[in-house]
């Protein structure tokens, strides 16, 4: 079969035996460009077995050698990131500059992981008790699974695998079946960087592959990113099987615009954060909460900027590309219909967009809805498309209550010139990542990325020191050397002295 996107095992393509496939499309043309293999349970076990076989040697590989491979990978990725960006655009649809941004944010995690010798240093206490020393080390878990969503086919896996590999684990990555090619490109790059066979593996597939990863005893941890219902399922199933699980879920991100905000800055930010990547970002702003009398001005400023956006093929000079699949495009459009029927005002209507792209492309233009209320499905549901809802409230407290009663808690932002109000917001808001005059507050690699409430199941965020801790187990060692007077027989509990 032409252009089948297979699995990756032992630094080479693995075709598996299932024979099942799913189509992969270019969203800007609507054309099927390949078929992705869908693993059977046997295929999944073969990939997991490979990762398990490679673990002992990689675990025992010195930090110096491991970091050398990471530095090689960093150099190769930086030199060739344009290739990866084009692959992302061809299957996801986001514009190439945005895809490059995604790769750059992933690269930051690789760079963070290059410092792993420092991050893995343990503690040492000399003479904790007489002639007794105590020290701590962190050791890798074993083969670990990463299950990623369609919207960041390179960055989200890179939140996890650089740190997992640097800390001595072996990896099975299960990418989204909607845009699977980036994973193979990254696997090839690892091979070129000198990563030994079996350390980084790719398992293509759907629920069958995921279920095997969640229950196979050889897999020691699961890092999942995707929608909330699946995140919940992954967390429940993986932890029931005794695994360490971090499962990042969906989002409904609010921006609060206070009356004293710079409205031009806020309007620019709403357009960028609402419509960038066609709203298919877990940190996209989908609800702009206008506080007090500024709502009319704000809506006018957002509308003016929105109507100027160029929608089209991501390889052309477009601001925004298509949605990922036709089904998703139609679902998002149906939310606009519902919002209109529920009484929201459609200020800018993306359903009638004229896009610079294929006639069969999955087009939906940026859409601005005003007078949205909390009972409308356009507000209650995660839409994951280029739809920005404006809600009008009278006070800061009402804005805060909207956010804190929302089931999601991934990202949020406040726009204000009042430092006291901003400080109060960062303290009171029940959300994991907060921006102050910054609409998409994605933390740097040396901080951790993660939401609260239904946006994350588990207690570990991605990357930063939380990532290092997630991919390692702590061990504390108490040792006594060269002490002939060991105290003789004493059945009492050890006490320090
Ligand atoms: P999704 O939940 O449909 O898929 C995510 C992964 O789960 C994919 O690899 C998919 O193959 C697998 N999967 C799908 N259905 C499954 C099932 N029934 N059983 C087992 N596995 C299954 O998510 P998506 O549509 O690919 O991505 C968009 C979602 O991801 C949005 O909800 C978005 O908010 C979320 N997301 C969250 C973050 C975050 O950091 N919190 C980041 C990116 C995306």
316-325 pLDDT tens trace: 999 999 999 9
End-to-end CA distance of the chain: give it in Å, rounded: 72
CA dist., res. 269 & res. 238, Å (int): 38
pLDDT at 178 over 80: yes
The pLDDT of 257-267, averaged and rounded, is 98
Same domain for 242 and 330: no
Same domain for 259 and 228: no
Minimum CA distance residue for ligand 1 atom 21: 207
Is position 461 within any domain?
yes
Which atom of ligand 1 is least distant from the CA of 229? Answer: 2
Same domain for 406 and 342: yes
Minimum CA distance residue for ligand 1 atom 42: 282
The pLDDT of 62-82, averaged and rounded, is 98
Is position 243 within any domain?
yes
What CATH number is given to the structural domain containing 343?
Answer: 3.40.309.10
CA dist., res. 208 & res. 120, Å (int): 35
Please count the structural domains in the chain: 2
What CATH number is given to the structural domain containing 151?
Answer: 3.40.605.10
CA torsion 401-406-411-416 (nearest 10°) is -20
CA 55 to ligand 1 centroid distance, Å = 27
For residue 56, the model assigns a pLDDT of: 98
Instruction: Give all strands (DSSP E) within 323-463, no chain letters.
Output: 345-348, 367-370, 387-393, 408-409, 411-415, 433-436, 452-453, 456-457
Which atom of ligand 1 is least distant from the CA of 449? Answer: 40
Confidence category of residue 492, pLDDT binned at 50, 70, 90: confident
CB neighbours of residue 76 within 10 Å = 15
Same domain for 473 and 349: no
Same domain for 185 and 63: yes
- pLDDT one-digit tens code per residue, 282-305: 999 999 999 999 999 999 999 999
Which atom of ligand 1 is least distant from the CA of 206? Answer: 11
Confidence category of residue 488, pLDDT binned at 50, 70, 90: confident
Domain that holds residue 277: 253-436
For the chain, percent of residues with pLDDT exceeding 90:
96
String of b and e for 219-250 (b: at least 16 CB within 10 Å)? bbbbbbbbebebbebbbebbbeeebbbbbbbb
Is position 492 within any domain?
no
CA dist., res. 184 & res. 205, Å (int): 13
CA dist., res. 21 & res. 8, Å (int): 16
pLDDT at 18 over 90: yes
Which atom of ligand 1 is least distant from the CA of 410? Answer: 41
Query: Which residues carry out catalysis?
Result: 282
CA dist., res. 431 & res. 212, Å (int): 32
CA 230 to ligand 1 centroid distance, Å = 7
CA dist., res. 184 & res. 190, Å (int): 10
CA 8 to ligand 1 centroid distance, Å = 21
Is position 320 within any domain?
yes
Same domain for 363 and 263: yes
Is position 382 within any domain?
yes
Minimum CA distance residue for ligand 1 atom 36: 226
228 CA to centre of own chain? 13
For residue 494, the model assigns a pLDDT of: 82
| Tokens 């971090």, located at residue | 246
Same domain for 342 and 467: no
pLDDT at 311 over 80: yes
- pLDDT one-digit tens code per residue, 332-369: 999 999 999 999 999 999 999 999 999 999 999 999 99
CA 380 to ligand 1 centroid distance, Å = 19
Long-range contacts of 483-489 (CB under 8 A, 24+ apart): 483/130, 483/131
Minimum CA distance residue for ligand 1 atom 22: 207
Is position 61 within any domain?
yes
- pLDDT one-digit tens code per residue, 81-129: 999 999 999 999 999 999 999 999 999 999 999 999 999 999 999 999 9
Give DSSP secondary structure letters for 9-20.
ETTEEE--S---
Same domain for 232 and 263: no
The pLDDT of 365-387, averaged and rounded, is 98
Same domain for 243 and 272: no
Same domain for 229 and 191: yes
Confidence category of residue 71, pLDDT binned at 50, 70, 90: very high
pTM of the predicted model over 0.85: yes
For residue 1, the model assigns a pLDDT of: 45
Confidence category of residue 252, pLDDT binned at 50, 70, 90: very high
- pLDDT one-digit tens code per residue, 400-417: 999 999 999 999 999 999
Is position 147 within any domain?
yes
Ligand 1: residues with CB < 6 A are 147-152, 156, 174, 176-177, 206-207, 210, 225-227, 230, 248-251, 282, 382, 384, 410, 451, 455
Same domain for 119 and 221: yes
pLDDT at 224 over 70: yes
Is position 109 within any domain?
yes
CA torsion 275-280-282-288 (nearest 10°) is 30
CA 325 to ligand 1 centroid distance, Å = 14
CB neighbours of residue 183 within 10 Å = 29
Same domain for 270 and 165: no
């Amino acid at each position: 079969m032409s252009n089948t996107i297979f699995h990756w095992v032992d630094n080479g393509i693995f075709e598996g035996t299932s024979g099942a496939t799913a189509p992969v499309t270019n969203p800007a043309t609507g054309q099927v460009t390949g078929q992705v293999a869908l693993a059977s349970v046997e295929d999944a076990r073969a990939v997991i077995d490979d990762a398990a076989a490679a673990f002992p040697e990689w675990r025992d590989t010195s930090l110096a050698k491991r970091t050398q491979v990471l530095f090689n990978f960093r150099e190769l990725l930086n030199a060739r990131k344009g290739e990866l960006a084009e692959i992302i655009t061809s299957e996801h649809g986001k514009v190439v500059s945005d895809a490059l941004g995604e790769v750059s944010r992933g690269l930051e995690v690789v760079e963070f992981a290059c410092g792993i010798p420092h991050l893995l240093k343990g503690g040492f206490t000399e003479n904790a008790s007489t002639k007794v020393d105590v020290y701590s080390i962190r050791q890798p878990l074993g083969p670990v699974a990463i299950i990623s969503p369609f919207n960041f086919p390179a960055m989200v896996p890179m939140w996890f695998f650089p740190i997992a590999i640097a800390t001595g684990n072996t990896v099975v990555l299960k990418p989204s079946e909607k845009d699977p090619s980036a994973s193979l490109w990254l696997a090839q790059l690892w091979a070129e960087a000198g990563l030994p066979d079996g350390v980084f593996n790719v398992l293509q597939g759907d629920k069958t592959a995921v279920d095997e990863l969640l229950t196979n005893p050889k897999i020691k941890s699961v890092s999942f990113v995707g929608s909330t219902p699946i995140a919940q399922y992954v967390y429940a199933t993986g932890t029931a099987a005794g695994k360490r699980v971090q499962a990042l879920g969906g989002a409904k991100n609010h921006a609060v615009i206070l009356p004293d905000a710079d409205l031009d800055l806020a309007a620019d930010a709403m357009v960028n954060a609402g419509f960038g990547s066609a709203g298919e970002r877990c940190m996209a702003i989908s609800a702009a909460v206008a506080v007090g009398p500024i709502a009319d001005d704000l809506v006018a400023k957002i509308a003016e900027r929105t109507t100027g956006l160029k929608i089209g093929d991501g390889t052309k000079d477009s601001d925004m590309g298509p949605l990922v699949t036709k089904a998703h495009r139609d679902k998002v459009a149906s939310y606009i219909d519902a919002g209109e029927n529920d009484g929201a005002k459609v200020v800018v209507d993306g359903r009638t967009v004229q896009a610079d792209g294929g006639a069969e492309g999955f087009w939906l233009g940026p859409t601005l809805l005003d007078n949205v209320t909390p009972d409308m499905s356009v507000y209650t549901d995660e839409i994951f498309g280029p739809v920005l809802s404006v809600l009008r409230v009278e006070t800061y407290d009402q804005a805060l209550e909207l956010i804190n009663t929302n089931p999601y808690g991934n990202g949020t932002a406040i726009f204000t010139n009042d430092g006291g109000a901003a400080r109060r917001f960062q303290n009171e808001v029940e959300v994991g990542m907060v921006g102050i005059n910054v609409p998409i507050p994605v933390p740097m690699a040396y901080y951790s990325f993660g939401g609260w409430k239904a946006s994350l199941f588990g207690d570990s965020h991605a990357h930063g020191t939380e990532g290092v801790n997630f991919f390692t187990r702590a061990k504390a060692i108490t040792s006594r050397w060269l002490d002939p007077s060991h105290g003789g027989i004493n059945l009492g509990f050890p006490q320090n002295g």
